Each structure stands twice: as structure tokens, then as C-alpha cells.
Chains A and B, each alone.
Chain A
Amino acid sequence: AQSLSPESVSPRALCSFSSCSSWLPQRIPLRGNHWQSSLLTPRTALPVRAQPKKKKKVDVKREQAQKDRMKKKLKKLERAAPELIPIEDFITPLKYSDGSRVRSLPPLSPEETERRVLLLKKWCLFKQRQDEAEKKAIQTLVESQQEALKELRLESEELYQAAIRRDEGLFPFEREGPTYTPPLPGYDPPEGKCVDITKVYTQ
């Protein structure tokens, strides 16, 4: 113990030496007896006083600097505008822009182009008539409903108010549309697993 000079002993070590209690510092775990035995050994076995402190400071500083850098990067990324999700249907795959893929067809004869133009005109007229008929049908429907509501109002105000109330249960209205052939009774579809390979993009 006399060979020890006071500067080389750390305050913690002093503490533990003087108290000789069960309290042990974190950095020197369970070293009570070991430390005592090292008292007799030369000074080099003891931890140097300044080093642990330096380690703590530098570590903390370095960690804080790292955290700041990460936060800066995150902020930069957040500020950047979100990337637009590509629409797969509008991007033609590169293999189809090859010249070898172009179809070789005979050119259209003038009769064919004539027929096409006339057909498009007929179609235009057909669709116009169909659309007008639909609009007229909707118009009569609305008129019929208005007439019914007018008569109902003449009858009783209470029933009229009940009739013009919004029907909450009507929407959302779902229905399966018609198919080309009716469902086949007793049809057993073939077994198989459907694997969905659609690409999902997140912004």
C-alpha cells in the first residue's frame, strides 16, 4: 500500500478500498478481492485515472453526432417529393419496340377504307339514337315519379315526408352483372392455385 502514490489511485478505487463494502463500481465488476490482491502487484495493473473519462466523453459526442447526421438525412428524404407510381399498362416493354416484331400485312384497299368510314358513320347515328332513347326514358321515369309524389302530397303530408326521406340502406348497391351464358348447374371447376404476382408500389 505504501508504494502507491495518491494520484494514481482513482477516487472510486479509493472509496472501495476505504469502505471495503459490497458496493462495487460498474466498470470494475466484482473486483473487490482481485483489487486487493493487485495492491501488492505493481502499479500497471491499476486502471489509469484519465482514460475512462475520456472514453465516455468521446463516445457520447460521437454517438450524438451520428444521430444528428441520421436525422438530417431523414429530413432531407422526407422533404423530397414522393416518386410517382408507374402505370404498368402505359409502359411498353422494350422487347416490343424491336423491328422484327412488326406485323406484315397487305395494305388496305380503297373499298375497305370506304366501307370502314361508312360503318363508322352508321355507328355514330346508331349510338346517337340509342342515347336519345335512354335520355327520354329517364325523363319519363322522373316525370312519373314527380306526379306520384304530387298526388301523395295531396293525400297526406306525413306520408309524403316519409316518401321523400333518403333511403340509407340503398347504397352501396352491389350486383353481379350478366354473363354470356347462364351458370351451369353442377359444374366442377378444375383445381388449381392462383398466385398473384402484381407489383405493389408504396410511396
Chain B
Amino acid sequence: SAAARRPWRLFGALCLLRLPRITQPLQKEEEEMAALMGQIEVEKSRYSDHEIRKLEEEERLRRRKESLYDDDDEAPGKTVIMAQDLEEKWEQKFLRFEPAPRITDADKNNIRTSLNRKLDSNLMLLVKQKIGNQELWLLPQVEWQPGETLRSTAERAMATFLGDHIQAKVLGNAPYGIYKYKFPKTIRTEDNVGAKVFFFKAFLQSSDFTQTEPKADYLWVTKNELGDYLKPEYLKKVNRFLLD
């Protein structure tokens, strides 16, 4: 028997997440706790070989300064490397190393299309799409075609906007959220009441974007910045399945 034509059109949308590359900065309580833990660890510990060597050498230096003659066991002309010197050498070597900055240029200039921004939080892809006669910022979505599962619809959505070379790991076959809306009365018919958009979540795995030529305007934004671009109802539904 022929399936009854449902009045809702189905769309599959993909929420592509770029996972954080650096650790988030510690909050005040966390920093205080970390310092306390360090102190307690030092208090409960024993001296290591390096520390004992350092203490002995300091003792020897002090004795030599107080009494004005050389020790018998130190032959003149023999250079002795003190533990203190070693520590200073290590410190110098550490200061000479320049790590990559945590706040990148893209951060400073607020270039929202770059992936190098906000390395400590999740970034989501937003695309500008035409719905009806409006240009809206949305998570990339395409209409479902009979014969494919909704997950493959979502993957097709990603391929449409970013090309085939992007690798992403879709988290499971089930949708994470749904946004349904009714079409405005002018285009609403018996068979075409509205649309249901099913959201899927995926983690971005390839970091090479040189080959992609995006087909439309796109942005990579954090969860907090979503409010600048998405409509309130849509945003409410999307925020439910996004963990910060």
C-alpha cells in the first residue's frame, strides 16, 4: 500500500564541531586548589638526590666562606659543577624556548571565518542559506530525499557546503534535536504544512582546508556567539544538544 503523504518536509542538518586544541584557562578556585595541592605534595615529600646534593654544596660553600682555607678533598684547579649552576642552565634553556601563542592572530582580529580562533572552545559551522525568500544563518541543511537515511542527508549537507575532502565523525545514527516550523499561510497547503529539521552532531577530523572552496558564506562560531546569528526559536532548540 502506498504510504500516506505526510504534510511535513524533512531536512537533515549537520552541526559540525571543531574540538578545542588547547586547555581552557583555570578558574580562580581551581588555581587556588592547584597551588594548595602542590604545597601539600612538597610538605609530604622527601628530599631527592638533586636536593641533597644542593644542600651539601651550600653547606660546603658556607664553611669555606667562614673558614678561610680550602677543603682537603677539593684539589685546586678542578672545576666542580654545582647543582645551582645546573638549575640556572636549565632555567635559561627553558626561557629560550618560545611556544606558540594561545591567543592567535585570528582571535585578535576577530576573523570569524578562520578555524584558528578560540582554540580552547568548540567551534560550530554556520552557513547562510536561502529559506523561502529570506537569507538566514543556519546550520548547513539539505532536504531529505526518499531512499536515504537522515544521517546520510546530514553528510550530504556537509559535502554540499564544504566539498568532499572533509572528514568528520558523525556521532551515531540518531538525530540529536529537532526544529519544526510551519510555513507562512501564503504557501501553506494541505500537503505542505511545514518542515522538520533534524540535527546531527559530528566532530571535525581533517584540519586541512586548503582544498575546500565553500559554496556559500560560512562562519565558525562558539556556543556563546550563536545568539548573534540564529533566530531565537531555532537557537533554543540548538542550545539543548550543545554541551559547552
Contacts and interface: CB of A to CB of B under 8 A. Distances in A.
A179 B29 contact: no
Contact of B120 (A105, A159, A178): A178
Given A141-B240, A151-B196, A156 B175 contact: no
Nearest to A166: B173
Contacts of A122: 29
A173 B169 contact: yes
A22 interface: no
Nearest to B198: A148
Given A144-B176, A148-B176, A163-B150, A119 B36 contact: yes
A145 B175 contact: yes
Interface string B144-158: 000001110000000
Contacts of B203: 175
Main secondary structure of the interface of A (DSSP, over half): helix
A201 B198 CA distance: 53
Nearest to A155: B6
Contact of A152 (B120, B150, B171): B150
Nearest to A98: B46
B149 A145 contact: no
Contacts of B174: 145, 148-149, 163-164
Interface in A150-201: 151-152, 155-156, 159, 162-167, 170, 173, 175, 178-185
A32 B177 CA distance: 101
Contacts, number: 127
Contacts of A116: 36
A184 to B, nearest CB: 4
Contacts of A175: 19, 203
Interface in B147-195: 149-151, 169-178, 180
B3 interface: yes
B173 A162 contact: yes
Contacts of B43: 103, 105
B46 A96 contact: yes
Please tell me the size bucket of the interface on B: 35 or more
Given A137-B243, A148-B174, A165-B173, A182 B102 contact: yes
Contacts of A162: 149-151, 173
Nearest to B116: A182
Interface in A105-130: 105, 116, 119-120, 122-123, 126
Interface residues of A, number: 44
B32 interface: yes
B63 interface: no
Interface-centre pick from B22, B102, B120 (highest chain A CB count, 10 A): B22
B175 A163 contact: yes
B23 A178 contact: yes
A63 B100 CA distance: 74
Interface string A126-146: 100000000001101101110
Nearest to A185: B100
Interface string A79-123: 000000000000000001000111101000000000010011011
A147 interface: yes
Nearest to B237: A144
A140 B177 CA distance: 10
A152 B175 contact: yes
Contact of B6 (A101, A126, A156): A156
Nearest first, the 7 A-B pairs at minimum CB distance are: A148-B178, A144-B240, A181-B99, A101-B46, A148-B175, A162-B149, A184-B100
